[in-house]
């Protein structure tokens, strides 16, 4: 692939003099009288970067993730690595293990089925599952198609990739709902007799039809792709709970795919994508139809649910469920000022709020949730009402109240199990145990009537745990960035370890010279708040050298970035980038998640500034401890919200962050899907949006900034990078822009990684990237 075909660059050429300061800094940082140690050539360092990237790196680690699945009477899991996986079935009654299959056997079956030898890279096997009763294996392979292997070892494809059932079959199998001309029709399966349930649907106001995602549109090549019926049957097959979409007056986005596969000509589409900055969002109104009565009368009666219409914050259906024979629906206010759970009478549509959440300044749905718990007589709510995400049981007679089941300055992340006798629940939490990394997960048994918690995973490590459906067993993969993963089976009630399943091993990786990651704890820019980071060094690291620093950034308040597990610490892409001859760091500053509301609140309506100085402070603390970290040569990279951060860091702190590679960045939050910016920003005024826009600070660029975006990004529209490029040009600044053809939000591909390495090599290391291979002749390119 030549540069002229695959790169669309907007730039002013810079001479080689621009690289001179980096070389001078490297020499100046070396102690006087100490000879410069030999360093591998840039070509060798690029080869190491490839060896420590993605599957290539993962194939050098054994038992990094056993991917446990509870099946009937047993536990199905894997050992080994992608190239040599062994799939095991543990009988939970006898504790005996038998091997079900191997990677080699799966490849052999696929090869026999396709008539040609299939390699592991070609097969792309994922989600292997096993049914002991049928002795049947199922897995996804190649382009994502579903395959099965029978008892004779024969493989067959049973579903195509992206398979979707468009019609909605009733639980009793007697009636199916089909969509036609934006309306819903009930079809008797036995006779084929049809009864229209709705008749006035239109393109802008369809029934039971979600907003088509861009991926659907591109896959089918039409703005009106076939969509599955969006509705929920009542368990008794009588009622249909569904909704009506309204996109009138909603502004649309447009996209042009310049190189559609199989076509010489570009193609363009318009599509609805709810945007944070839009005045008008798509609306959803819920309704119920008595299908049983409609089929008898040959005419349907629509019963509107008497609850507010809901602004759709993403192209997905509103919440629709049945609990105890009634519709149960979670409603979210735009800007996340409040959430409410409604239940309704399916005959009258009268709706009642049974749980309500209103936390100032916003309900952060990535740290809180409400879930039905009919067995406990209400809703389980993870709420930040005390400033910490704690668990409450909310009853219908007091929707704004609730009984606290947990309390303290720590966070509940999830409810993993409710005991059948209703005596206790099992939850995952972080930050409860003193003198432990606050991001390490642990499992707790919580009495349903209050009382002391029981920690089921007491080892001071992160616990990636899964509870069996009956609550009798826990599979726990415990680790830390410096402690290899140990997978064990625990007793579900006591947490006692009853069997070891596997231990991770990276000895083959270390034999390649790999330098293990180092967790780092320091203080935020305020000088008092503890924050955490990680240092990733190149293979065969030499402390006598001077190394530039590259910050892998993602400051968003919806998550955390620094790996807490042994496996994740080895799989992050910074391990690869460090091999060019740099030290890569990861930092969770204030404004990020899992440390309580006060820790995260600096991000509220302040995404453009939060974390900036925390990152600088911790990098300087790292360099104070390790003088070989050269803080005069600091770069930054990130994707998606991390792409926004990357540009922001280079623009707002140009004297510290000299080089940035920003991929898929949401540079103006008003042009992103509604939910992500609004859960961090609420629904602010235009001045606040503008203040947080990267375009508003484009004129502050001093260093080098590379923007990379996929031309068919289905998450963050490519217009974001185009608009930032335009703002930089208008401000008289320089910019480099690469558009990746036929690429969605996931830009990870060989050319992306090459451009990323090249950019840091040229502008941060002050070296020339390895030359391209020999020029291909016209015949070689065919």
The pLDDT tens digits for 519-565 are 999 999 999 999 999 999 999 899 999 999 999 999 988 999 999 99
- What pLDDT score does 26 carry? 38
Helix (H, G, I), strand (E, B) or coil at 574: helix
- What pLDDT score does 37 carry? 61
Task: Tell me the two tokens of residue 609.
Answer: 């500034």
CA angle 175, 176, 182 (to 5 degrees): 140
Instruction: Indicate the pairing of strand 411-418 with strand 424-430.
Output: antiparallel
Share of the chain above pLDDT 90, in %: 91
Instruction: Indicate the pairing of strand 483-491 with strand 473-480.
Output: antiparallel
pLDDT band at 777 (very low <50, low <70, confident <90, very high): confident
- What pLDDT score does 11 carry? 31
Does the structure show a pLDDT above 60 at 7?
no
Task: Tell me the two tokens of residue 45.
Answer: 């360092």
Share of the chain above pLDDT 70, in %: 95
DSSP 553: -
Task: Tell me the two tokens of residue 83.
Answer: 């190239």
CA angle 698, 704, 706 (to 5 degrees): 85
- What pLDDT score does 23 carry? 33
Instruction: Write the CB contacts of 717 (distance below 8 Å, at least 6 apart in sequence).
Output: 253, 255, 273, 671, 672
d(CA 70, CA 73): 8
Instruction: Write the CB contacts of 377 (distance below 8 Å, at least 6 apart in sequence).
Output: 393, 395
The pLDDT tens digits for 139-197 are 999 999 999 999 889 999 999 998 889 999 999 999 999 999 999 999 999 999 999 99
Does the structure show a pLDDT above 80 at 14?
no
Task: Tell me the two tokens of residue 213.
Answer: 């995602």
Beta-carbon neighbour count of residue 542 at 10 Å? 13
Q: Which residues on neighbouring strands pair with residue 445, listed in sequence order?
A: 426, 454
The pLDDT tens digits for 200-257 are 999 999 999 999 999 999 999 999 999 999 999 999 999 999 999 999 999 999 999 9
Instruction: Write the CB contacts of 183 (distance below 8 Å, at least 6 apart in sequence).
Output: 196, 197, 198, 199, 200, 201, 206, 207
Instruction: Write the CB contacts of 24 (distance below 8 Å, at least 6 apart in sequence).
Output: none
The pLDDT tens digits for 427-447 are 999 999 999 999 999 999 999
The pLDDT tens digits for 616-662 are 999 999 999 999 999 999 999 999 999 999 999 999 999 999 999 99
Average pLDDT over residues 342-368: 97
Instruction: Indicate the pairing of strand 339-344 with strand 136-141.
Output: unpaired
Helix (H, G, I), strand (E, B) or coil at 77: strand
CB-based contact 661:760 (threshold 8 Å)? yes
Which residue shows structure tokens 């024979």? 325
Phi and psi at residue 600, to the nearest 5°: -85, -25
Q: Is 208 left (phi over 0), alpha (psi -120 to 50) or beta?
A: left
Does the structure show a pLDDT above 80 at 27?
no
Average pLDDT over residues 585-603: 97
CB neighbour class for 478 (10 Å; exposed up to 12, middle 13-18, buried from 19): buried
d(CA 83, CA 519): 29
Report the run of H or E that residue 440 belongs to, with start and end: none
d(CA 50, CA 527): 39
Beta-carbon neighbour count of residue 732 at 10 Å? 9
pLDDT band at 676 (very low <50, low <70, confident <90, very high): very high
CB-based contact 440:562 (threshold 8 Å)? no
Task: Tell me the two tokens of residue 669.
Answer: 């939050």
CB-based contact 461:480 (threshold 8 Å)? yes
- What pLDDT score does 108 carry? 96
pLDDT band at 451 (very low <50, low <70, confident <90, very high): confident
Q: Which residues on neighbouring strands pair with residue 328, listed in sequence order?
A: 321, 343
Please indicate whether residue 34 or residue 724 has the higher confidence score (pLDDT).
724
Cis (ω within 30 of 0) for the bond into 709? no
pLDDT band at 35 (very low <50, low <70, confident <90, very high): low
Does the structure show a pLDDT above 50 at 5?
no
- What pLDDT score does 34 carry? 54
Instruction: Write the CB contacts of 777 (distance below 8 Å, at least 6 apart in sequence).
Output: none
d(CA 574, CA 535): 9
Q: Where do the DSSP E strands lie in 570-623?
A: 583-588
Instruction: Indicate the pairing of strand 321-323 with strand 231-233.
Output: unpaired
Tell which residue, 507, 466, 501, has the closest CA to residue 487. 501
| 249 Cα distance to chain centroid | 31
Task: Tell me the two tokens of residue 336.
Answer: 């996340």
Does the structure show a pLDDT above 60 at 706?
yes
What's the whole-number average pLDDT of the chain? 93
- What pLDDT score does 778 carry? 72
- What pLDDT score does 779 carry? 67
Report the run of H or E that residue 688 belongs to, with start and end: helix 686-691
How many Å is the Cα radius of gyration of the chain? Answer: 28
- What pLDDT score does 781 carry? 57
CB-based contact 310:331 (threshold 8 Å)? yes
Does the structure show a pLDDT above 90 at 29?
no
Does the structure show a pLDDT above 80 at 517?
yes
Phi and psi at residue 113, to the nearest 5°: -70, -35
């Amino acid at each position: 692939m030549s540069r002229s075909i695959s790169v669309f660059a907007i730039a002013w050429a810079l001479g080689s003099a621009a690289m001179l300061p980096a070389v001078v800094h490297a020499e100046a940082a070396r102690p006087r009288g100490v000879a410069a140690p030999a360093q591998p050539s840039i070509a060798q360092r690029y080869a190491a970067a490839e060896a420590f990237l993605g599957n290539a790196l993962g194939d050098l680690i054994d038992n990094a993730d056993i991917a446990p699945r509870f099946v009937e009477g047993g536990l199905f899991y894997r050992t080994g690595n992608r190239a040599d996986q062994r799939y095991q079935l543990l009988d939970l009654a006898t504790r005996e293990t038998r091997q079900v299959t191997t990677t080699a056997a799966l490849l052999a079956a696929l090869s026999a089925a396709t008539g040609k030898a299939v390699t592991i890279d070609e097969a792309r096997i994922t989600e292997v599952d096993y049914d002991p009763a049928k002795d049947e294996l199922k897995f996804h392979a190649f382009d994502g198609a579903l395959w099965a292997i029978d008892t004779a070892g024969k493989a067959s494809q049973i579903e195509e990739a992206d398979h979707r059932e468009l019609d909605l079959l009733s639980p009793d199998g007697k009636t199916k709902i089909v969509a036609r001309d934006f309306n819903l029709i009930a079809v008797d399966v036995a006779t084929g007799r049809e009864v229209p349930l709705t008749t006035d649907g239109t393109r802008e106001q369809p029934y039971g039809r979600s907003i088509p995602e861009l991926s659907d549109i591109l896959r089918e090549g039409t703005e009106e792709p076939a969509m599955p019926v969006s509705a929920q049957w009542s368990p008794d097959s009588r009622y249909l709970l569904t909704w009506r979409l309204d996109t009138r007056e909603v502004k649309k986005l447009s996209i042009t795919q310049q190189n559609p596969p199989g076509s010489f000509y570009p193609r363009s589409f318009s599509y609805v994508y709810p945007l944070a900055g839009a005045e008008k969002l798509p609306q959803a109104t819920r309704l119920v139809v008595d299908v049983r009565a409609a089929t008898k009368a040959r005419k349907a009666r629509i019963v509107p649910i008497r609850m507010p219409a809901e602004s759709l914050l993403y192209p997905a259906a509103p919440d629709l469920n049945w609990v105890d024979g009634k519709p149960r629906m979670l409603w979210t206010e735009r800007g996340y000022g409040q959430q409410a759970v409604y239940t309704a009478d399916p005959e009258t549509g009268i709706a009642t709020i049974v749980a309500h959440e209103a936390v100032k300044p916003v309900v952060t749905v990535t740290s809180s949730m409400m879930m039905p718990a009919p067995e406990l007589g209400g809703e389980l709510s993870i709420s930040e009402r005390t400033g910490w995400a704690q668990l409450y049981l909310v009853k219908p007679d007091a929707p704004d109240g609730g009984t606290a089941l947990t309390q303290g300055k720590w966070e509940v992340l999830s409810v993993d199990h409710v005991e059948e006798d209703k005596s206790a629940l099992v939850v995952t939490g972080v930050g409860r145990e003193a003198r432990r990394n606050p991001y390490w997960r642990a499992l707790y048994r919580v009495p349903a009537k209050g009382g002391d918690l029981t920690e089921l995973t007491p080892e001071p490590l992160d616990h990636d745990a899964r509870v069996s459906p009956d609550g009798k067993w826990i599979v726990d993969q415990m680790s830390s960035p410096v402690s290899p993963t140990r997978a064990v089976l625990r007793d579900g009630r006591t947490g006692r370890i009853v069997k070891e399943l596997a231990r991770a091993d990276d000895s083959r990786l270390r034999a390649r010279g790999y330098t293990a990651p180092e967790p780092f704890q320091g203080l935020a820019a305020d000088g008092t708040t503890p924050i955490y980071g990680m240092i990733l060094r190149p293979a065969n690291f030499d402390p006598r050298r001077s190394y530039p620093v590259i910050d892998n950034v993602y400051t968003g308040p919806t998550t955390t970035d620094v790996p807490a597990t042994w496996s994740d610490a080895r799989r992050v892409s910074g391990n690869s980038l460090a091999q060019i001859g740099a030290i890569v760091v990861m930092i969770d500053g204030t404004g990020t998640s899992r440390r309580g509301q006060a820790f995260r609140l600096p991000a509220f309506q302040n995404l453009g500034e939060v974390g900036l100085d925390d990152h600088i402070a911790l990098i300087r603390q790292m360099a104070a401890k390790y003088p070989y970290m050269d803080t005069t040569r600091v770069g930054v990279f990130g994707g998606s919200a991390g792409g926004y951060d990357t540009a922001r860091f280079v623009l707002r702190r140009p004297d510290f962050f000299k080089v940035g590679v920003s991929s898929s960045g949401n540079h103006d939050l008003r042009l992103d899907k509604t939910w992500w910016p609004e859960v961090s920003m609420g629904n602010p005024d235009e001045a606040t949006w503008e203040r947080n826009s990267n375009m508003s600070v484009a004129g502050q660029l001093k260093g080098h900034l590379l923007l990379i975006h996929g031309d068919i990004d289905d998450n963050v529209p490519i217009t974001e990078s185009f608009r930032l490029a335009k703002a930089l040009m208008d401000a008289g600044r320089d910019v480099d822009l690469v558009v990746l053809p036929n690429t969605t939000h996931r830009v990870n591909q060989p050319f992306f990684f090459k451009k990323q390495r090249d950019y840091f090599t040229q502008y941060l290391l002050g070296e020339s990237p390895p030359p391209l291979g020999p020029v291909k002749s016209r015949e070689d390119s065919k």
